[in-house]
């Protein structure tokens, strides 16, 4: 994979899947803008890790749930590295509740962080790609739950379902501009969002029992796919979703 000379923005880039994407694209030669909201020390460590290995990375604190926050990231890419080649809408939160429990505030918060950010991240990145005249790639980190119900996780599933149609609709609209839009849909991954499940042996085994590959993913296994999809090797992939789920969505007990 060769991303030499390219500049990639990763939202929610200082932990979990985001940090793995940062590592994967930096290892492929890209300069990276690492967006974050919390734990500046983790961002500093990640920047140090990448620059120490000869790569290029800058941390930027920005709230991607507002278009103003997105604009800060695009400007940082241009100011620091002179261009933008890929924008990864990765930032996300998960708040467990059912349709009977959900409140307006919680719903709005989940939609703002997961979906609103991805809509305006796609818009602002596409505007920049068109202005640059280079084309570009938007990757949305969705979830198997963009297409698969998870009872008790209503707002999260609705937000990811919205991302599913974002990739398809924006992908169709932006194709003529040389801009690709692709969703990467992870299954269960060992990240802070799943901390509760991973800490509880019984829950973890129950989850692993539903995964044909028999284990939860390492974040790097998602990062590698994102780096591939950004690269020229994936130049004909757009307006669709690549599932990286160990087969969880097709799992069957066979009974």
Query: Would you tell me which residues interact with ligand BGC (CB under 6 A)?
Result: 94, 143-145, 150, 187-188, 193-194
- Cβ nearer to ligand BGC, comparing 143 with 155: 143
Least CB distance from residue 249 to ligand BGC, whole Å? 9
Catalytic residue among 81, 87, 120, 156: 156
Here the tokens at position 231 are 């690269």
Cβ proximity of 180 and 242 under 8 Å: no
| Element of type H or E holding 136 | strand 136-141
For residue 225, which of 115, 139, 116, 126 has the smallest C-alpha distance?
A: 139
Tokens 């938007």 -> residue? 138
Which CB, 60 or 144, lies closer to ligand BGC? 144
156 included as an active-site residue:
yes
What is the H or E stretch that residue 185 is in?
Answer: strand 179-186
Q: Which residue is it, tokens 């919390």?
A: 38
Nearer to ligand BGC, 132 or 197 (CB): 197
Q: Taking the complex as a whole, how short is the minimal distance between the CB of residue 187 and ligand BGC, in angstroms?
A: 5
Closest approach of ligand BGC to the CB of residue 221, in Å = 14
Residue nearest to ligand BGC (CB): 143
Closer by beta carbon to ligand BGC, 176 or else 252? 252
174 within 8 A of 126, measured Cβ to Cβ = yes
Nearest distance from residue 143's CB to ligand BGC, in Å?
3
Beta-bridge partners for 217? 189
Catalytic residues: 156
């Amino acid at each position: 994979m060769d991303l030499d000379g390219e500049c990639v923005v990763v939202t929610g880039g200082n932990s979990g899947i985001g940090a793995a994407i940062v590592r994967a694209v930096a290892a492929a030669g890209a300069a990276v803008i690492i967006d974050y909201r919390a734990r500046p020390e983790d961002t500093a460590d990640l920047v140090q890790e990448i620059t120490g290995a000869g790569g290029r990375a800058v941390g930027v604190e920005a709230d991607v749930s507002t278009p103003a926050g997105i604009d800060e990231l695009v400007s940082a890419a241009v100011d620091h590295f002179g261009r933008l080649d890929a924008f990864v809408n990765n930032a996300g939160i998960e708040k467990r509740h059912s349709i009977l429990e959900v409140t307006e505030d919680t719903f709005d918060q989940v939609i703002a962080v997961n979906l609103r950010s991805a809509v305006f991240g796609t818009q602002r990145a596409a505007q920049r790609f068109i202005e640059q005249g280079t084309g570009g790639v938007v990757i949305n980190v969705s979830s198997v739950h963009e297409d698969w119900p998870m009872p008790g996780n209503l707002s999260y599933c609705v937000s990811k379902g919205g991302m599913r149609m974002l990739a398809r609709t924006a992908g169709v609209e932006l194709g003529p501009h040389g801009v690709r839009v692709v969703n990467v849909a992870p299954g269960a991954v060992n990240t802070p969002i799943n901390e509760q499940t991973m800490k509880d042996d019984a829950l973890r085994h129950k989850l692993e029992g539903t995964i044909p590959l028999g284990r939860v993913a390492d974040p790097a296994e998602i990062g590698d796919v994102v780096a591939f999809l950004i690269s020229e090797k994936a130049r004909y992939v757009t307006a669709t979703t690549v599932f990286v789920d160990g087969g969880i969505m097709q799992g069957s007990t066979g009974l």
